[in-house]
Structure formats: structure tokens, C-alpha cells
Chain A
């Protein structure tokens, strides 16, 4: 029982870290209907930039973090202008493949600029786990969970209360109608990618600290799909819930199944969960149902 509980809690905490990555994905999908297959690579790129700022240029954390975030935000803007703007109105496969191509470019570009060796993202956090109710909990996980909660609350406020946030929801709902209401759709798109860059950079810092920064960091992105499908592609709250479920289920099942099959359960169970979700309820927990019209 205690074994189970420990797996569960750690799974939930890792799940919050998944949720952080999934947030950026959901944000892009929600506002621009672009499905971003390069999410993991964006996180990796953010991690590379943060690692370079901290270890190569020896900036203090208080300076390195804003610089990295700023760079990733402008990178998000650039992507939107250069790559996604020309693809507006094109079929789904074109957009999916463009982000797949982007993923490939980023995976080649990052080690070319900063070298392929694994880098640290040193954060001033105690490495030693602390013990809460008899469970080992790592401080990093707590920071990640806190970051996710802050973003969740922030986005909740942003989408419900601010003018820009409401404009974003309008664009997500119907681009043409939003345009005729005087919303500048193209600047909303650019803003969305900027925010996505920001969230990816935070994800890169946290995941980079957790796993170390190299091209394998991009594999985090593959876990995003089960998370967002489970939670609903366009729901911020769904991303958090999906993250928690995927984190918990994969950790618990890995703990119990791995000894029998020799590992790898974590790469596999989330996708089974996802296929089941897709067959029963494709829109996930909080996603909007799609209604077809001729």
C-alpha cells in the first residue's frame, strides 16, 4: 500500500510537469487550431538556451531566466510569422507536417549551436528529497507543480477577464467572426506563439533541471499527446487533469508491471490510455465536441 501511495504521489508530481508542457500545446491549439508536433522540441530548445545562459555565459539565474524567456518568446513570434502564417487555411496534414519538419530542424539546430553533450540547468534547489507523511518528495517536483498551478490560475484569469484573453477565445471560436468584430487575428496568433514560447521555456528549465539538456529532452513532447487527448485538446484545465492522470497511471503501472516485462511500460501505457479515450470519447474530459457540417 505504501509502495502504491509513493508511486501515486510521485506520478502525480511528474504529471504536473507533463501538464506544464501540455499547457503550451493546448494554448496553441486553442487559439490557432494548429496541432504542434514540435512541442517537445520547443521545450528542448528552451532548455538549451537556459543551459547556455547559465553555464556557458555564466549569467546569474535572475538574469539568465529573463533572457532565456525573452529569447523563446521572440522565437515563438518568429515561428508564427515565418512558418505558420503562410499555412493558414491549409489542410490539417500540411500544418502537422510543417510542425514535424520544425521538430526535425530544431533537433538538428540545437546540438549544432550548443553541442550534443548533456548540459545541466543548475537551479538553486536542494537536491535531497524531503519527507512528507512518510513519502519522499523532490523539491523540483514541487516547484514544477507550483509553476503549473500559477500558470493555470494565470491563464484562467487571462482567458476569462482580460480583453486580450477574451479576444483569443473569440479567435479560437470563429476566426472570421472575430475578424468582423474588429479583433486583429494575426496579432492574436503572434501573441499566442509568444506565450507558447514562454511556457515552453519554463518547461525547458524545469525538465532540463530534472533530466539534463540534450536532444533526448524532446521526447517529453511525445507524452503531451496522451495528456491533451485525455484532458481535451482545447482545455487548460484538461491539460492539468490529463497530466495528473497520465503521470499517476504510468508511474503506478510501471511500478507494478515493469518487473515482469523488463521495463518500457512508461512509453506504452499512456498511449493505450489515449487509444481508449479516442474510441470512447474523442473530445476528452473538457474538450469541445466536434460537430460535422457539410
Chain B
């Protein structure tokens, strides 16, 4: 968040580790909170709100993946599948057993954590690219299981319709009400992650990321912490998947394919590996990219000809090209992603206008 440290002197370690490191930070956080709670829902129409909702869901998933990949250094290409576990768990609990949505949310997260931990077991022996490939296998195996076990998928086209979520007697039936549901979950995810990464557990994660053998030598129980990272990350994924399911009111495996896993990886790379705020930036960026692209292409196409189906083909291909191109671009030119750019901006304004 934007704040200036002038005249702020820390006299204890606790102050140095605090979430709000300067008095002004509280004001900034309050401003963001007001923006999210009041300005966004009241100032935008249903279309914009639906975008905000998709961003919110992506934020939860991206923070989860960043805890695993950015902070612990374990690459996962199965994030989409772990979201599917959460999504289908929530759908089955709500649609078949009439559970309220918060039960589905937590149960979805919990089951995804169990499954994720199971697929994290190979991480004891293998790492880096081998682990990436193992999680890729998780993606395909889970996808297959959902599609071919009728009890899970509910038969035809692996689709389960979910009743509208309700909380305390209020039916969450509009974009605006769902926005608040998603906002609360996303905010909790953010705060939990911020606190996690400055705790003992978070430091253990980073030690494993930076050099796992060295971490083991200084007494970090690698296996336990790796599994914990998988569990937390998959819990986030499961919650995101459940949230998505309640938001769409339908559970469908096509929302959770390998493309989705790759998109989440792109989010944390473009946003910034090992940064919670970066995950938010990345989630916003990748979620809005296709919409902005469509807007641009429609505008450019409209100059010459009316929109046709040929335009949609071009758009679909262009989306892939721009997406892949941006990932490569960021990897080569700005490996720390949008978070680093944000830091540059902040550093500039830190002593502005007296830059000496």
C-alpha cells in the first residue's frame, strides 16, 4: 500500500515485522477497504460486478498457488484440479445434502487440502521439474476421476447444478450480494496469507525455497513443511473452486482444466512470485486481459468492418498469443512481475518531491 516512512522509527523487532509499518498505512488500508466495500458495489453495474467477482475468486486461487510456488518453491501444474476437488465437493454437499454454502466452502477446501497433500507426497523425493510433471499427472488423474466416476460427476456431462447460496436467511441471488460473499473470503485469504508469510511457518517455507538442503541442516523439517505448503495451497484452491461453483451455481469440470492451472501460474508469475500483493495484481491482470483484448479487437475491427464470426476466431487465437507472449515477456524482462513495478512506483514517491 502507499505510505511514506518519513519520521517513522522502529524501536523493536515486533514493530519491524508489523503488517502496518507506518501510521499512514492504516489510512491506506482503510481507503482500500472503503473502495472495495462501498465504491465498487455501489458504483458499478452487473457486468463490472461480475468481473470484480471473477477477480475475487482468482485472487483466492492465486494467493494459494503463490504460497506453494512463490514462497515454498514447489511448482504445481495441478492447481486447476485441486480447485475442481473443492468445487465438486461443495456442489455435492449443497445439491445433494442441502448443506449451507459456508459448510461447502470449508469442506471443499478441506478435501482439496487432503487430495493436494497426497499429491504433494512425491515432493519429498523429487523437486523442480520432476515435481512439476508429477502435479501435471495429478491434474489428469483428478480430471479423469471426476469425469468417469458417476457418483462424483452426476452423470451427464459431469455437471452438477447447485442451489443459490444463502447466508442467515438472505438468499445470495444477485451479483452484488455474491460480491460481498466473495469479498469477505478474498479479504480473509489475503490477511491470512500476509500473516502466514511473516510467521515461523512462512520463514520455513522461504528457507525451503531458497535452498532445501541448507534448510534441512538448520533444522527445518522439510517434508512436514512441504506437505503443509501443499495443504494450505490446496485449501485455498479448494475454497476458490467452491466459491466459483457457488458463484456460477453449477459445477463443471471445464472450469478446472489444465488451461486454468496454467492461467494461475501465469497470474503469480506476472503478478510476482513470492508476493501476496503480487498475486492480487496478477489475478486482476489475467482475469481482465481477455476482456480488454476483446474490447480492443472489437474496436479495431469495427473501424473496418462489422464484427463477424471471423473476428471471434481471430480473437480466440489472439488471446492465446497475447497470453503466452506476455508470460514470456515478463519472464525475460521483469521476472519479479507487477509487484516489482509497483515497488518502483512506490520507491519513487517515497521521497517525492525531494528526490535527494
Interface residues of A (CB under 8 A from B): 35, 83, 86-87, 90, 92-94, 96-98, 100-109, 111-112, 116, 222, 225-226, 229, 261-262, 264, 267-268, 271-272, 274-275, 278-279, 282, 292-294
Complex Cα distance A105/B318, Å? 9
Known pairs A93-B75, A278-B133; A101 contacts B331 (CB<8 A):
yes
Instruction: Note all chain B residues with C-beta closer than 8 A to A101.
Output: 266, 323-328, 331
Complex Cα distance A275/B138, Å? 8
Complex Cα distance A105/B266, Å? 13
Shortest CB distance A246–B (Å): 13
A100-B324, A268-B140 known; 9 new pairs, CB 8 Å cut-off, are: A83-B328, A98-B331, A101-B325, A108-B318, A116-B313, A264-B144, A275-B122, A278-B125, A294-B217
Q: B262 contacts the other chain (Cβ, under 8 Å)?
A: yes
A283 — nearest CB in chain B belongs to which residue? Answer: B130
* CB contact between A267 and one of B136, B144, B217 (< 8 Å): that residue: B144
Shortest CB distance A5–B (Å): 27
Q: B320 contacts the other chain (Cβ, under 8 Å)?
A: yes
Complex Cα distance A258/B122, Å? 28
Classify chain B: how many residues form its interface, as a range: 35 or more
B319 — nearest CB in chain A belongs to which residue? Answer: A108
Instruction: Note all chain A residues with C-beta closer than 8 A to B103.
Output: none
Complex Cα distance A94/B332, Å? 9
Shortest CB distance B20–A (Å): 31
A105 touches B320 (CB 8 A): yes
A271 touches B317 (CB 8 A): no
Q: B33 contacts the other chain (Cβ, under 8 Å)?
A: no
Complex Cα distance A272/B136, Å? 11
Q: B34 contacts the other chain (Cβ, under 8 Å)?
A: no
Complex Cα distance A106/B327, Å? 13
Shortest CB distance A196–B (Å): 17
A104 touches B133 (CB 8 A): no
Q: B335 contacts the other chain (Cβ, under 8 Å)?
A: yes
Q: B296 contacts the other chain (Cβ, under 8 Å)?
A: no
Complex Cα distance A292/B216, Å? 12
Contact with A along B273-294 (1 / 0, CB 8 A): 1000000000000000000000
Q: B137 contacts the other chain (Cβ, under 8 Å)?
A: yes
B324 touches A112 (CB 8 A): no
Complex Cα distance A275/B320, Å? 30
Complex Cα distance A279/B126, Å? 8
Instruction: Note all chain B residues with C-beta closer than 8 A to A86.
Output: 332
B133 touches A87 (CB 8 A): no
A98 touches B134 (CB 8 A): no
A105 touches B213 (CB 8 A): no
Residue of B121, B122, B213, B332 with highest tally of chain A CB at under 10 A: B332
Complex Cα distance A107/B320, Å? 7
B313 — nearest CB in chain A belongs to which residue? Answer: A116
Instruction: Note all chain A residues with C-beta closer than 8 A to B320.
Output: 104-105, 107-108
Instruction: Note all chain A residues with C-beta closer than 8 A to B121.
Output: 279
Shortest CB distance A16–B (Å): 22
* CB contact between B132 and one of A35, A111, A261, A279 (< 8 Å): that residue: A35
Known pairs A108-B324, A278-B133; A83 contacts B126 (CB<8 A):
no
Residue of B122, B133, B212, B327 with highest tally of chain A CB at under 10 A: B133
Q: B129 contacts the other chain (Cβ, under 8 Å)?
A: yes
* CB contact between A109 and one of B316, B321, B327, B331 (< 8 Å): that residue: B321
A-B residue pairs in contact (CB < 8 Å), sample of 14: A35-B132, A83-B332, A86-B332, A101-B326, A105-B320, A106-B324, A107-B320, A108-B317, A225-B133, A267-B140, A278-B130, A278-B134, A279-B125, A282-B130
* CB contact between B266 and one of A97, A108, A267 (< 8 Å): that residue: A97
B265 touches A278 (CB 8 A): no
Instruction: Note all chain A residues with C-beta closer than 8 A to B331.
Output: 87, 90, 94, 97-98, 101
* CB contact between B147 and one of A96, A104, A264, A293 (< 8 Å): that residue: A264
Complex Cα distance A97/B129, Å? 11
Instruction: Note all chain B residues with C-beta closer than 8 A to A282.
Output: 125-126, 130
Instruction: Note all chain B residues with C-beta closer than 8 A to A83.
Output: 328, 332
Instruction: Note all chain B residues with C-beta closer than 8 A to A292.
Output: 212-213
Complex Cα distance A97/B323, Å? 12
A274 — nearest CB in chain B belongs to which residue? Answer: B137
Complex Cα distance A293/B213, Å? 7
Instruction: Note all chain B residues with C-beta closer than 8 A to A278.
Output: 122, 125-126, 130, 133-134, 137
Shortest CB distance B168–A (Å): 42
